[in-house]
Chain A
Amino acid sequence: MASAAEAAPAAPALPLRRTRADAGLWGWLVTTDHKRIGILYTVLGLLGLVEGGVLAVLIRLQLARPGQHLLVGDAYNAVVTMHGVIMIFFAATPILWGMLNYVIPLMIGARDVAFPRLNMFTFWLTLAGAVLLNLSWFLGGAPSAGWYAYVPLSTAFARGIGMDAYAVSLLIAQAGSAMTALNLLVTIVALRAPGMTWMKVPPLAWFTLGSMALVITAGLPFMVGLLSILFARWFGVGVYTPSQGGDVTLWLNLFWMFGHPEVYILALPAMGMITEVLATFSRKPVFGYGSMVAAVIAGVVPLSWIVWAHHFYVAGLSASANVAFSATTELISIPMAVIPFVWIGTLWGGDLRFTTPMRYAVAALFLFLIGGLTGLVNGNSAEDRLINATYWIVAHFHVVILGMIVPGILAGLVYWWPKATGRLLSEPLGAATFWVLAVGILLTFVPQFLLGLDGMPRRIYTYVPGLGWHGMNFLSTAGALIMALGVVLYVLNLAWSLLGGARAPADPWDGRSLEWTTPSPVPAYNFARLPLVEAREPLWHAKLHNRPVPEAPEDLDPGREGHLIHMHSPSAMPLLSAVGVFVAGYGAMLHSLPLVGIGGAVLALGTLGWALEDAWGYFLAVGAD
């Protein structure tokens, strides 16, 4: 039964506007356009990346030589904690959510995500979380119990507001992520263009599907754990306190049941971006699309739910439990290795063009081999008795992040930048940036593998001389400074392009998927006419047959009436609701019930407005924007 047959005789006539309803500066605050929301998220994430990076440089400067006094004791622990929390939750996550928000609807031939107001709300929640966390610097100290905040260090032994800020900001941010995941999942399932059946869905959308499925399930134990930490500190709830009958291992389980899937939550979209870039610049389709889908959906996603205890093999679990989790951890290496093989197959025999995105993607392949295989070394419980919490682990996850996830993001950012901004980036500067970053990443982290084998543990602010660690530490710091230079160059390239880069055509890279059929930058309504998808890689398929991508007839495109496109209304209710959440969160941080009440009232008001406001939308003519 086609949904277009829904009769609605009492519907009011919708207004026709000459320009988009969320124009101007205020428009950015009330927008419901996934493209604007994507840009906002990406900007927030880049700011987080810079903050997290500065903290990383401070860490490396402190460790360059033994016995330094730049950052000692809890000050060092706070910097390490904030580096981790910000990089994961307020840099990588927002950048990825921003890019996915922008690209996914375009790639699947939709005009927006399923729940546009919810989408904007999630951005505000992430921003609220970032602000609340950073307020802790000024309100008596940032959290200093590590990004995984083991209890009871983070409950009974952490004085000050830091851990409250940690719990509240991450509760809010994680709620936002869960809603983003819901949105993207429904979008991919329900809003694909006519004709786009499942096996014609672009690779990035499959990886996104997998990642989002993990977000909405794995995020919940984390939120329960965080709420329990907050309540332990505020009301004395004793679920983690042995003297009250509680158990410190409860947090271990709640946290890592989220914490492990979290790494795949970040890795999968980046892998999807790498896949798209490799196919485009090899001028061949993805090799082994079916294997790729199976690896993600039937491999990584279900297995990532059952490996979590490998993060605490040393917590005195029984040998049988350790063996079981070692087994599942080894098994997950299978799908995670299929994906690089798909990449190799895609490159094989291709007409390779080494543009900036391609350099990052190819580097990611090699660096992921290093990062992933060093993970194989940590995977089982017996060797973890040596390697747990040493710099080998630090080097392993940083090489996976900085060797695969970040290059995937950097590749994707350069790749889709022309589409979003209508400007090209500088290729020579891009090449130089790539090499600086590549040298920096290797120089920072290869020494850290050696430090791990020499026994250097994590999270120590200094080390006794004579242990043989000073040489590698010094090299690693040098590498970090080179990496910082690379980040500066990368950001400079973005700025330069905005200030005066060359104009980008609709299809600067000879692309294969639907987003390259729209103008650059993309108009508010995305597609004047929805495409009718006949094959995987619809644009490439059309190019091979020397014709344009066919258009869906009007009865399959209910959002269009002739040349009038139905647009979602902007709304201030997500902003108002988020203000309420921010105030309530601030109150929770300060242990102030009245403030929480006020925030709750504002949230209720915002939600009420959201439910009751007229959100019928309006019409925009094609060509007007």
Chain B
Amino acid sequence: MITGAAWVPRAARAGGVPPESLLHPAGPQAQVVFDALNFSIWAAVVSFVLAAAVAAYAVWGRRRRAAPGTLPPQVEGHRGIEVAWTVVLVVGALVMLVHPIPAEFAYDRVPDPGSALTVKVTGHQWWWEFQYPRQGIVTANELHIPAGRVVRLEMTSADVIHAFAVPRLGGHDWAMPGRITTIWIQADRPGLYQGQCTELCGASHANMLTRVIVQSPGEFEAWVRAMQHPVVRAASPLAQEGERLFTAGPCQACHTMGGTSARGRIGPNLTLLGDRTSLGGGVLPNTPETLAAWIRDPSRIKPGARMPALGLTDAQIAALVAFLEGAK
């Protein structure tokens, strides 16, 4: 299991790669779309250099200072040149048109559908819900997948249009209410991959990050088992007090916490919260201090957050934090 506090950017930046970069595919699906992008960028750069060179030559190389009282040749056109440039443009456009067609079909077709891991993704304002139907588990904001295996994502939204986008793994499509969008992603190697919602979805659109935690198959199975049979051991009296507050107070009205009686369906599922790398939709590292700040006043961190400030005392918050961070 990945324990908290590993603050994503530093970890992912170990290789110097900007975490959400479009240019560092880490899986076959990402490679497909990256190859299409790469080809287009190079085509655009080469075309620009050629066209700009011709334009520059026209402006600085071919201008003719006409003698006073005379005019430059009043050329209205040249059929040959006009036909030639049209042919060049048509050929270029056809190349650009044909080249990415296989990529689109490859993107769309889930390979190996029988062995794919299926996850149902639901976008909410402003967090992600991930359900694993065959495994019978539900989590939020951090998508665990095994390396080297096709993962099929069936996406919808509970409210407005959101976008699921993790550039290094390739998937980027919308989650829309009333519709299901299906894409597939796959990661070559374990690691932490990150993206964020790219479709304006309200006040905290900027605070809806998407974390994909790619684990080795063994680690993934271990995580699934822990999620299926969560055991919450409140180790200290403070954590026990926190558990009491959580299950008897307002928290359980919105949240589900595996291993307790809390079965709320409105907010994110908090099972094994202590193991998560981040909080609040990916915008905060998971530490006791940030968790306390979040519980104290969620909308200060995330404008518009549906979770209200509950007016808890510092002692109560400390208890809850101890309980939640202990849920591993």
Contact = CB atoms under 8 A, between A and B. Distances in A.
Tell whether A pairs with B.
Answer: yes
Interface of A: 72-74, 77, 144-146, 150, 152-153, 157, 242-243, 246-249, 282-291, 312, 314-316, 318-319, 322-323, 326-327, 330-331, 333-334, 337-338, 340-341, 344-345, 347-352, 362, 365-366, 369-370, 373-374, 376-377, 379-383, 385-390, 452-469, 544
Given A323-B104, A382-B107, A454 B21 contact: yes
B13 A466 contact: yes
Contact of A157 (B55, B160, B195): B160
Contact of A459 (B85, B178, B205): B205
A373 B47 contact: yes
Contacts of B4: none
A153 B255 CA distance: 24
B173 A316 contact: yes
B196 A460 contact: yes
26 contacts: A73-B303, A246-B178, A284-B75, A285-B75, A285-B76, A288-B78, A288-B82, A318-B108, A334-B86, A334-B89, A345-B81, A349-B73, A350-B64, A373-B44, A376-B44, A377-B37, A382-B32, A383-B40, A385-B171, A386-B167, A388-B163, A455-B20, A461-B206, A466-B9, A466-B10, A467-B19
Given A380-B36, A457-B196, A316 B104 contact: no
A340 B50 CA distance: 13
B105 to A, nearest CB: 5
Nearest to B10: A466
A512 B36 CA distance: 46
A376 B73 CA distance: 35
B121 to A, nearest CB: 12
A243 to B, nearest CB: 8
Given A287-B77, A457-B196, A385 B44 contact: no
A351 B63 contact: yes
Contacts of B104: 319, 322-323, 326, 380-382
Contact of B173 (A315, A341, A458): A315
A204 B120 CA distance: 54
B315 interface: no
Contacts, number: 286
A387 B40 CA distance: 12
Contacts of B40: 376-377, 379-380, 383
Nearest to B54: A344
Contacts of A150: 160-161, 199-200
A539 B115 CA distance: 75
B65 interface: yes
Given A347-B59, A349-B62, A380 B96 contact: yes
Contact of B174 (A315, A347, A390): A315
A323 B206 CA distance: 31
A466 B7 CA distance: 9
Interface string B73-96: 111111001100110011001101
A338 B75 contact: no
Contacts of A314: 163, 172-174
B291 to A, nearest CB: 17
A98 B258 CA distance: 65
A153 to B, nearest CB: 4
A152 B72 contact: no
Contacts of A452: 22
Contacts of A460: 196, 205-206
